[in-house]
Every structure is written in structure tokens, then in C-alpha cells.
Amino acid sequence: MSIKRLRLLGLLPTWVTIGVLMIGPLLIMAAVSLMEANVYGGVHLRFDVSSYVQILFDKNLFDETEFNPAYLIIILRSFMLALGATGLALLIGFPAAYYIARQPDHRKNLLVFLITIPFWTNLLVRTFAWVIILGRGGFMDQVGSFLNIIGPDESINLMYTNTAILIGLVYSYLPLMVLPLYASMEKMDVRLLEAGADLYANRYELIRRIIVPLTMPGIIGGSILVFVPCLGAFIAPDLLGGGKKLMLGSLVQLQFATSRNWPFGAAIAMMLLAIVVIALMVNARAARRHAVYEQTGAEATHG
Amino acid sequence: MASPHRKSKFRPIWDFPGFGGLSVGFFAFLYVPILVLVAYSFNGSKFAMVWSEFSWRWYLKLLENDDIHSAAINSLIVAFFAAPAATIMATLAALVMVRGGPFRSRAFTAGLITLPLMVPEIVTAVATLIFFALLNINLGLINIILAHTVFCIPFAYMPIRAALEAMDPGLEVAAQDLYADRWDAFRYVTLPLLTPGIMSGFMLAFVISIDDFIITLMVAGAGSTTLPVYIYSMIRTGVTPEVNAVSTLLLAVSVILVSVYWLLSSANRKGEAIG
């Protein structure tokens, strides 16, 4: 068999599977977002952009189009929570990633493995653990009353708040922040820090002027890996927000589970996809820039 | 080179004070919730969140719960079809990508394989739901297996590609020098050496399939509930400590499989260091 035939044979199953079961559905979803909703679920085969209009506008009693902020609030909440979770994950993950990167090899491998374990366990179960912790009379209330911070029947009561969702989001995606951070910190040349210190930089300046610029690909990569799934999160807002504080992911799910407005759900999903594409473009651009930066830096030292 | 000299009075400039403590906090944040969940699964109280005494009762109750059994069996059926299917495809694709020489659709294929990782899960979930619904494909568990196979491919692909890249192509050349034809070289040299990588890929795909919730929730019809979807319905309809027990078991399965994967791949690393 020729190498061409072998290649085709090897790649075809993957092409067909992902093509038919992933690209196909995404294209159909794009088409559905441009169709008219059927009130019983599904769609009428008629071109209609009203699903996209519906994101910002509503028809009032007189059939006039007017601005409706209801969904805009959900979009803004999603962005705020996703940004907040990304920032917090970066803040928590940065020192840990740096510390692990400076350990001896065998310990490094073990610690990285410990970071990946939560990633491989069930997200629903991990989020549910926070229901036990934050819920009324739960673990945190019991610890609180044991430490006499709150009375025996009082509750810290964070459930169904934005704070609870934020905690859940950070917890869900923290490993995705730390792994790329760690990867770029491990590659960093420690001698640069020594050189910086010789030039009278203090530790804060070392972080700001050496570590952060050199680990920028990890920072951006990790931030995107956290930001994107946070934006489309469904489990954390559902379990910890009580399904009342909707985010984009839960809004999409709702359109298919109860509201039965497929085109609108598809339109929101398309919006999420567009954000992912933008995020990936930002990432690619940052990586390119960093490559140039490293190259010119190398030329500066070797040339 | 970068080992911290704990006993030395000098703190190397790259050793930041406080980062060690923050790292301990970081790991506590990752693991305390999981440990709380596990501890509460042994809680004798009728209420999921209020601690009373140590007891196995919720695990014993699981043994009697037929709904959980059938959900767990569904999960296993799905994973035992989706993970091998994904692993076979990923292995074939990885062989072509690493050993196939230069070809035009390489970047396209690489993008295609990572696509399921890039698209937010909820988007994949509703797109697949629309796809099955509009084409009227209603095959129960087979729908779920098809959906799982897709997102298992990249997880199976990554360790297999890494194992292939780490393998010395000279070995195959040597085999061919010793009059093995291309198929024999593959069958007796490449494949045995690649087996740990393929096993790793299979295990990751299996874990991802067993744990998937959102896509399964949207795609599953009545009567084809998997364990995570069943756990979700338990949480929604009122939390009993039984949820903690079944959740703990699901956690244990993932942790065991991933640990085996890790041991396999670190054995591989050691083998390389020696060989």
C-alpha cells in the first residue's frame, strides 16, 4: 500500500467522526440560530434573525421593538464572574506554579500530578462538595459555630450568591490555570533572576520585570483556559447559584430543557463560540509576539 | 540544580518567602472540598450536611438502589465502547501525524483533533442535541456513545502522540535492516513499544467518558441515564447522604485510573532515562 493510502486510512476515521459528529452539529446549530422557533421545540424552516435581535431587544404590547436589558444583565454577569474567576485563579495559581517549578524533579512530577487529579475527577461532584461546605448548616457553618464566629443556629449563608458561583468557578478551573503557568515557569532561566538581583532589583521587581514578562504565554494561555469554560459554565451557576443567577451556559441549557426556544439557545451558543474564536486569536497573537521577543532577546545576548 | 537549601542561611534569590506557604494553601483549597465530601459520605445522619457519627449505611443503601446500578452500568457500557473507539482512531491518527512524513492536511488534522477541547462543553452539548433531534437519530445509549467518542479522541490522542514522539524511529529502521517488512516492523517493534502510551490514552478517554455530565445530560433520552446524570437528578430532587456515597465512589474510580496512568507514564520516563 502506498504511503498516501496509509495516511488516508489512518486519518479518515478521525476526520469522519469529528467532522460528522462535531463540525456537522455546529454548522446545523448555526443554521438553527437563523431560523424561526417552533413553540413545541425544534424549528420552522424559515430564515429569521429574531433570535439574535432577541438578545438585546424585545417586542412590546404594540409590537414595537424596545431595548430589553434582561439578557444583557446575564451576559454582563457572565463576563464579570468569568473575569473575576480568571483573576482569582491567576492570583492563587501564580505563587503555587512558581514554587512547584523550583522543586527538585521527582517532587515536581508528584506535585503536578496532584494538580491534575482534580481536573480528571467529575466536575459535578467537585462542585457539589461546595454545596456541602457552603450550604445552610453545612461544613462551613459547623466550623464557624465551633470557632464561635457565628451562633449555633446562624449561617454564613453564601449559597445562591455570586460569591458562591465565583468560588465554584475558581475551584472548577484552577488546574487549567496552573498547568500552563507551571510549564512556562519551568522553562524560565533562574540565572536571569540572579542577574536581576545583581543589578539591585528587589523581589517585587524581579516578579514584575522578569518573571511576569517571561511567563506571559503561560499567563495568557492559562487565563484563556479558565475564562472560556467559566463563560459557558453550567454546573456552578446551577448548583451554587440556585439556577436564579443565570450565566450564559445556563441560559443556553434552559432554552433546550424548559423554554424550548432552540433558535435563541443556538444564537447564544454561537455568541459563546465567537468569544472562543476571539480568545484563541488573542492567544495565537500573544504566542507569536513572545516568540519574536524571545528570538530578538536571544540575538541580543548572542549577537 | 534548583533544589531549595533549607538548612542554608542564605535564601537564594529565586526562593520567594511565603510562596511555599501559599502553595500549601493552594493544595488545601484543591483537596479540602474533596476530603469533606468523602468524610460526609461516612456520615450516619439522615441529612447530607449535618454530621452525626461514622457509618457505612449510605454505602449499604447504594447496594440496594437499582436505579443507581442501572445508571452505573450505562456509564460503563458507554465508556467501554467510546473509549476504545476513540483510542483506536487516536492511535491511527497519531501514527500518521508523527510518522507519516510531511503532508498537506497536517495542520487541518491537528486543529480538528483539538476542536472538541476548544468548543465550550455546553455548545457541543446543544449542537449534538440539535443534530440528533433534527436527523431523528434516537438510538438510546448509542447516541451517548457517539457523542462521547468525539470528545474522547483528543484525550486519547495526546499521550499516544507524546509516546510516539519520544520513541526512537531508528528502532524501526533497524528492524527493516534486519529484513522485517514495514508491517512486521510495526507489529513487532512499534506497537509493543507504543502499548503503554495507548493504554494511557485509553485510560484518560475512559475517565473523561465516565465523568462527562453536561453533554450526556443534553443528549441522553429517557431510560439512558448515566451515573453523573443520575447524581445530578439526586442533587436536584433533595440531597440525601446517598449522593455523597455515590459521588465518593465516582471520585475513587477516576483517581485510581488516573493514578495508574501516572504510574505507567512515569515508568515510561524512567525507562527512557535508563535506555
| Separation CA A71–CA A60 (nearest Å) | 16
pLDDT at B111: 92
User: Are B152 and B239 found together in one domain?
Assistant: yes
Unique residue bearing C-alpha cell 439522615:
B46
Closest partner residue to A130 (CB to CB) among B33, B115, B204 is: B33
Question: Is B8 inside a domain boundary?
Answer: no
Report pLDDT digits (tens) over A82-111. 999 999 999 999 999 999 999 998 899 999
- For A1, residues 6+ apart whose C-beta sits below 8 A from its C-beta are A9
| Test the B interface: residue of A124, A202, A246 with most B CBs within 10 Å | A124
User: Are B224 and B244 found together in one domain?
Assistant: yes
Distance from the Cα of residue A130 to its chain's centroid: 18
Is residue A300 pLDDT above 70, yes or no? Answer: no
Closest partner residue to A42 (CB to CB) among B13, B133, B207 is: B133
pLDDT at B48: 63
Question: Is B5 inside a domain boundary?
Answer: no
Is residue B1 pLDDT above 50, yes or no? Answer: no
Distance from the Cα of residue A208 to its chain's centroid: 25
Q: What is this structure's pTM?
A: 0.90
Closest partner residue to B122 (CB to CB) among A19, A122, A252 is: A252
Q: Which three cell numbers stand for residue B170?
A: 531508528
Is residue A297 pLDDT above 60, yes or no? Answer: yes
Closest partner residue to A132 (CB to CB) among B22, B49, B262 is: B49
| Separation CA A212–CA A188 (nearest Å) | 11
Closest residue in B to A14 (Cα) is B89
Question: Contacts of residue B258 in chain A, CB cutoff 8 Å?
Answer: 116-117, 120
Number of CB atoms found within 10 A of residue A270's CB: 21
Q: Which three cell numbers stand for residue A282?
A: 488573542
Contact check, Cβ <8 Å, A22/B115: yes
Q: Which three cell numbers stand for residue A52?
A: 439574535
Residues 260-279 of A with CB under 8 A from B: 262, 265-266, 269, 272-273, 276
Is residue A303 pLDDT above 50, yes or no? Answer: no
pLDDT at A301: 54
Unique residue bearing C-alpha cell 473507539:
B85
User: Are B210 and B93 found together in one domain?
Assistant: yes
Bridge partner residues of A66 (DSSP):
A58
The sign of the CA dihedral B245, B250, B251, B252 is positive
Using CA atoms, how far residue B73 sits from B94, B121, B179, B207, B240, in Å, is 31, 24, 48, 15, 22
Distance from CA of A38 to the nearest CA of B (A): 13
User: Are B102 and B210 found together in one domain?
Assistant: yes
| Separation CA B166–CA B194 (nearest Å) | 10
Range among A60-69, A160-169, A275-284, B59-68 rated most confident: A160-169
| Separation CA A250–CA A268 (nearest Å) | 10
| Comparison of pLDDT for A217 and A83, the residue scoring more | A83
| Separation CA B232–CA B230 (nearest Å) | 5
| Separation CA A15–CA A18 (nearest Å) | 6
User: Are B48 and B147 found together in one domain?
Assistant: no
Q: Which of B7, B39, B57 is the last residue of a domain?
A: B57
Q: What single DSSP character describes residue B43?
A: B
Unique residue bearing C-alpha cell 494511557:
B200
| Separation CA B275–CA B273 (nearest Å) | 6
| Separation CA B151–CA B206 (nearest Å) | 11
User: Are B28 and B142 found together in one domain?
Assistant: no
Burial of B61 (0-12, 13-18, 19+ CB in 10 A): middle
Residue B28 contacts A where some CB pair is shorter than 8 Å: no
| Separation CA B31–CA A116 (nearest Å) | 12
Question: Is B177 inside a domain boundary?
Answer: yes
Is residue B271 pLDDT above 60, yes or no? Answer: no
Question: Is B2 inside a domain boundary?
Answer: no
Q: Which of B33, B57, B81 is the last residue of a domain?
A: B57
Q: Which three cell numbers stand for residue A159?
A: 449559597
Residues 67-86 of B with CB under 8 A from A: none
Question: Contacts of residue A269 in chain B, CB cutoff 8 Å?
Answer: 122-123, 126-127
Predicted-complex ipTM score = 0.90
Band (pLDDT 50/70/90 cuts) for residue A29 is very high
Mean pLDDT score, A113-135: 93
User: Are B53 and B68 found together in one domain?
Assistant: no
Residue B139 contacts A where some CB pair is shorter than 8 Å: no
Task: Count the residues in chain A.
Answer: 303
Residue A194 contacts B where some CB pair is shorter than 8 Å: yes
Report pLDDT digits (tens) over A225-236. 999 999 999 999
Collapsing DSSP to helix, strand or coil, A35 comes out as: strand
User: Are B168 and B182 found together in one domain?
Assistant: yes
pLDDT at A298: 56
Closest partner residue to B251 (CB to CB) among A92, A125, A207 is: A125
- For A123, residues 6+ apart whose C-beta sits below 8 A from its C-beta are A172, A235, B211, B213
| Separation CA A94–CA A181 (nearest Å) | 7
pLDDT at A151: 77
Is residue B107 pLDDT above 80, yes or no? Answer: yes
Nearest-5° angle of CA A254, CA A255, CA A259? Answer: 90
Report pLDDT digits (tens) over B114-158. 999 989 999 999 999 999 999 988 888 999 999 999 999 999 999
Question: Is B201 inside a domain boundary?
Answer: yes
Among B40-49, B80-89, B242-251, name the one with the lowest average pLDDT.
B40-49
Unique residue bearing C-alpha cell 528587589:
A202
Question: Is B124 inside a domain boundary?
Answer: yes
Residue A118 contacts B where some CB pair is shorter than 8 Å: yes
Among A43-52, A224-233, A258-267, B56-65, name the one with the lowest average pLDDT.
A43-52
Report pLDDT digits (tens) over B5-24. 455 567 787 788 889 999 99
Residue A183 contacts B where some CB pair is shorter than 8 Å: no
Mean pLDDT score, A117-121: 92
Question: Is B89 inside a domain boundary?
Answer: yes
Q: Which three cell numbers stand for residue B7?
A: 538548612
Is residue A147 pLDDT above 80, yes or no? Answer: yes
Q: Around B247, how many Cα atoms within 13 Å sit in the side-chain half-sphere?
A: 34
User: Are B212 and B118 found together in one domain?
Assistant: yes
Residues 276-295 of A with CB under 8 A from B: 276, 280
User: Are B43 and B170 found together in one domain?
Assistant: no
Is residue A158 pLDDT above 90, yes or no? Answer: no
Range among A32-36, A131-135, A250-254, B77-81 rated most confident: B77-81
| Comparison of pLDDT for A257 and A176, the residue scoring more | A176
Q: What single DSSP character describes residue A303?
A: -
Closest partner residue to A22 (CB to CB) among B51, B88, B150 is: B150
**H helices within A188-261, ranges in order?**
190-198, 203-206, 212-214, 216-231, 235-240, 248-257
User: Are B150 and B194 found together in one domain?
Assistant: yes
Host H or E run for residue A44: strand A43-47
Unique residue bearing C-alpha cell 436564579:
A244
Question: Is B169 inside a domain boundary?
Answer: yes
Contact check, Cβ <8 Å, B92/A13: yes
Residue B18 contacts A where some CB pair is shorter than 8 Å: yes
Using CA atoms, how far residue A126 sits from A225, A235, A240, B25, B248, in Å, is 18, 10, 12, 18, 10
| Separation CA A163–CA A160 (nearest Å) | 8
Beta strands A57-59 and A43-47 are unpaired
pLDDT at B275: 39
Hey, what domains does chain A have and what are their CATH numbers?
1-33 (no CATH), 69-300 (1.10.3720.10)
Burial of B114 (0-12, 13-18, 19+ CB in 10 A): middle
Which amino acid type is present at position B126? V
DSSP code string of B50-67: S---B--HHHHHHHH-HH
| Separation CA A192–CA A301 (nearest Å) | 12
Unique residue bearing C-alpha cell 534548583:
B2
| Separation CA A34–CA A41 (nearest Å) | 15
User: Are B153 and B32 found together in one domain?
Assistant: no
Domain that holds residue B213: 58-274
Question: Contacts of residue A100 in chain B, CB cutoff 8 Å?
Answer: 23
Unique residue bearing C-alpha cell 500549601:
B24
Report pLDDT digits (tens) over B172-198. 888 888 888 878 888 888 888 899 899
| Comparison of pLDDT for B125 and A41, the residue scoring more | B125
Closest partner residue to B22 (CB to CB) among A95, A194, A273 is: A95
Domain count of the fold of chain B: 2
Average pLDDT, chain A: 88
